[in-house]
Amino acid sequence: MEFQVLGMGCAKCAKTIEVIERIGAELGKAVNVSKVTDPATIMRLGVMSTPAVVRDGQVLHSGSIPSRAQVEAWLNG
């Protein structure tokens, strides 16, 4: 499963990537999380609060480190 984490290098962005990767590993799902720091891409996706999580061009979450329940829902959904 491909995820993108959007953010311009804030501490919470790194944490978000870590959370998704860790929960993915725990659930035995193959996840690939990439980091997007390019302001043009962040703007095009309409994200104003970072970190934001995107899958298939869809903004799943924005403005905080996602909770465990949210990440599990994405991975199982």
Partner 1 sequence: MLEVFSQLADLLVYDLGGLSAQSKLGDALHFFVEDTSKIFVLLLVMIYAIALVRAGLDVQRIRAYLQQRRRASGYLFGATFGAITPFCSCSSIPLFLGFTSARIPLGISMAFLITSPLINEVAVVMLASLLGWKFTLIYILIGMSVGMLGGWLLDALRAERWLAPFILEAQAAAETQAEQPLAPAAKLSLQQRHTFAKAETLDIFGRVWKWVIIGVGLGAGLHGFVPDGWIAANLGGGQWWSVPIAVLVGIPLYSNATGVIPVMQGLLVKGLPLGTTLAFCMSTVAASFPEFVLLKQVMQLRLLALLFGLLLVAFTLVGWLFNALEPWILS
* Site residues for partner 1 per CB under 8 A: 6-13, 38-40, 42-44, 46-50, 63-64
- Tokens 């996602």 locate to 66
Instruction: Kindly state the smallest distance separating residue 73's Cβ from partner 1, in Å.
Output: 18
Report CA-CA distances (Å) from 77 to 7, 26, 29, 49, 70. 24, 16, 12, 24, 10
- Beta strand pairing call for 52-55 and 2-6: antiparallel
Instruction: Kindly state the smallest distance separating residue 36's Cβ from partner 1, in Å.
Output: 11
Instruction: Kindly state the smallest distance separating residue 9's Cβ from partner 1, in Å.
Output: 5
Q: Which is nearer to partner 1, 2 or 38 (CB)?
A: 38
